[in-house]
Amino acid sequence: AWPGNDLALMEAVKRLKQLDHRPTHAEMDRFADGWHPYRGAAALMLWHLYSCLVRDGTPTG
């Protein structure tokens, strides 16, 4: 399962990939293609990254 339109995942991928914009749903799906068949695990790790960024007060937007 890959929730590619999840805002927290988009922000985490933006930070992970060092993008200057929040990735679109289509971009998220392209990134996730490389993580197949572990997209669900990738989502869990990205949610964890996002929660760490928010907890530390790191700007995510």
Residue 54 has pLDDT above 80, yes or no: yes
Structural domain contains residue 1: no
Structural domain contains residue 41: yes
Rounded to the nearest 5°, which phi and psi values hold at 25? -60, -40
pLDDT at res. 55: 84
Structural domain contains residue 48: yes
Structural domain contains residue 60: no
Per-residue confidence band for 57, with pLDDT thresholds at 50, 70 and 90: confident
Q: Give this prediction's pTM.
A: 0.84
Give me the mean pLDDT over the 44-58 stretch.
Answer: 88
In total, how many domains does the chain have?
Answer: 1
Contacts of 37 (CB under 8 A, 6+ apart): none
Residues spanned by the domain of 19: 7-55
Residue 56 has pLDDT above 90, yes or no: no
pLDDT digits (tens, 9 = 90+) for 1-45: 889 899 999 999 999 999 999 999 999 999 999 999 999 999 999
